[in-house]
Structure 1
Amino acid sequence: MPQRRVVTGRSQEPRQRFAEELRLLRAERGVSLRELADELGWDASNFGKMESGRTLGSPEVVEALDQFYGTPALLLALWELAVGDPSQFKEQYRRYMRLEAEAVSLWQYSVSLPPGLLQTPGFVREALTAGGLKGEELEQQVAARAGRQGVLEGDDPPPFRVILSEAVLRNSLRDQQSWREQLEHLATVAERPNVALHVLPFGTGLHGLVNTDTMFLRLAEGRTVVYVENDVRGELVEESGRVEHLHRTYDAVRDLALPPAESRTVILRMLEELPCEPST
């Protein structure tokens, strides 16, 4: 592991310390920005901007750099200090993101928005802008969401079963083209062999997850953890009794939902109902 450096002078400022650490670690490894980009799969200019302090990058990029340099969690900790808002990166959610990347199968119920793993960039941007994000912070979070979606890609992606409340398909974006792209993406993803997408139509009555976004992660060692979230808080649930109760509740909701083929037909029908794109 690279020798730790004394924090003095300019490196006492979190953003500068983060950029300085990136430059020094790359120099110690003896690689160019291009070689770093080839190794990790991100654009070299992005790494250059991070090392100059012009951008902080996304947590996924920073975690990849920690792994490449052999500095477990060091760069991520510096990144969080540089971002300056620890409330966005609570330990439970950071741990959930790590577990999500390791999961061998995933199940989700979404109350009002498409799950993060299925959101298009246009949807992410409008949703985060509505939440008050802008500028560099907005770009970081858009990039972070895109990075997470790699979980469902690759040669052997994990199975993903998702139940969408019909409200998800009715909460359209202001930008009609972005909304069309989001619905098209859901319809396309629904055809992937590793994805089972269900729509829970209006009128099915109340159920145990009515106000709670829920994601189940089955891990390689066989246990399952659950992340539950509402408008106020999120919680990582690991206690086996609570996990089992939530799983039974999820299964009951799935029994109320439409099967995948009918669900995709519902999405395609909604696409047909959208206004035609203006001619150019």
Structure 2
Amino acid sequence: MPPRRAVTGRSQEPRQRFVEELRLLRAQKGDSLRQLGEALGWDWSLFGKMEGGQTLGGPEVAQALDQYYGTKDLLLTLWELAAGDPKQFRERYRRYMTLEAEAVSLWHFGVSTVHGLMQTEEYAHAVLAVGGANGDELTRQVQARIGRRELLVGEDAPPFRTILSEAVLRTSLADTEQWRKQLEGLAEAAERPNLTLHVLPYDSGPHGLVSTDVMFLRLPDGRTVAYTENAHHGELIEEIASVERLQRAYDAVRDLALSPAESRKFVMRMLEEVPCEPST
């Protein structure tokens, strides 16, 4: 069993340290990338990209490597440090934004918030402020998010499907008038030819994306990539097997969701429940 080294050893940059450890452990084992892929059941190219610093893979991959190398939770710990590094998060998000602009079709599941491509300015402001942005930085982030909505407008706009958990539609803004505008915006968007809206009711039961916001992008070269996100972390996933697992979970969720027609009725019912502001 390779000796476990202190997390603070060698490179102090989390992602680089993770890469160094992956390379060293495979060299000690004497495996080729192809042999490693065959042993663990993943495409060997994933491990090549991880060792080249192009992707972190996912926590399940790091855990499998720990088991294979007998390193307890060393690689998983390093993966968590690298994934939580703000600089790396920004780099991954910038790459996601580039791919989003190139996508020929998009599909999404939202567990807690409306996707940025369908947010009103006031809703975006509230969500980003809760995330810690303020002042000029908050203003810049809101404007950047609102600008992204242009992606879904025009004759050449790509098709976009979104499934929203019922929780999204019941987590209202403090300002009821602004919440009304967001619901109206969803209802109007559902009428556009390139947009499809589904609602996943509470009574649908447990499912494979119960705690995961995910966006899929079909790219011009035929590849599909996924971006998963929660309040503290986002991950761009390009490895084929991982994307396919997420896609199967998404398809199962779509089967549980209301039809587009029933979903629009659901949104209209939510609108009816929004209190009217007293006239002055």
Q: Same fold (TM over 0.5)?
A: yes
Give matches, 1:1-280, under 5 Å.
87=87, 90-280=90-280
Distance 1:131 1:215 in 2: 19
Normalization by structure 2: what TM-score?
0.68
Secondary structure at the aligned position of 1:271 is classed as helix
- Structure 1 residue 86, shift from structure 2 partner: 6.0
Deviation readout 1:185-230 (Å, 9 max, x if unpaired): 0000011110110000001111111101000000111110000112
- Structure 1 residue 278, shift from structure 2 partner: 2.3
Amino acid at match of 1:189: A
Consecutive unaligned residues of structure 2, counting only runs of 5 or more, are 1-84
- Structure 1 residue 91, shift from structure 2 partner: 1.3
Secondary structure at the aligned position of 1:214 is classed as strand
**Cα distance change on mapping 1:188 and 1:242 into 2, 3 Å:** same
- Structure 1 residue 274, shift from structure 2 partner: 1.2
- Structure 1 residue 137, shift from structure 2 partner: 0.6
Secondary structure at the aligned position of 2:204 is classed as coil
Deviation readout 1:13-71 (Å, 9 max, x if unpaired): xxxxxxxxxxxxxxxxxxxxxxxxxxxxxxxxxxxxxxxxxxxxxxxxxxxxxxxxxxx
Secondary structure at the aligned position of 2:228 is classed as strand
C-alpha RMSD of the superposition: 1.5
Amino acid at match of 1:194: N
Consecutive unaligned residues of structure 1, counting only runs of 5 or more, are 1-84
- Structure 1 residue 89, shift from structure 2 partner: 5.9
**Cα distance change on mapping 1:89 and 1:150 into 2, 3 Å:** farther
Secondary structure at the aligned position of 1:172 is classed as coil
Normalization by structure 1: what TM-score?
0.68
- Structure 1 residue 277, shift from structure 2 partner: 2.8
Identity of aligned residues (%): 64
Stretch moving more, 147-156 or 198-207: 147-156
Distance 1:137 1:193 in 2: 34
Deviation readout 1:207-262 (Å, 9 max, x if unpaired): 11110100000011111000011233111111111111111110000000000000
- Structure 1 residue 160, shift from structure 2 partner: 0.4
- Structure 1 residue 98, shift from structure 2 partner: 0.4
Q: How many residues align?
A: 196
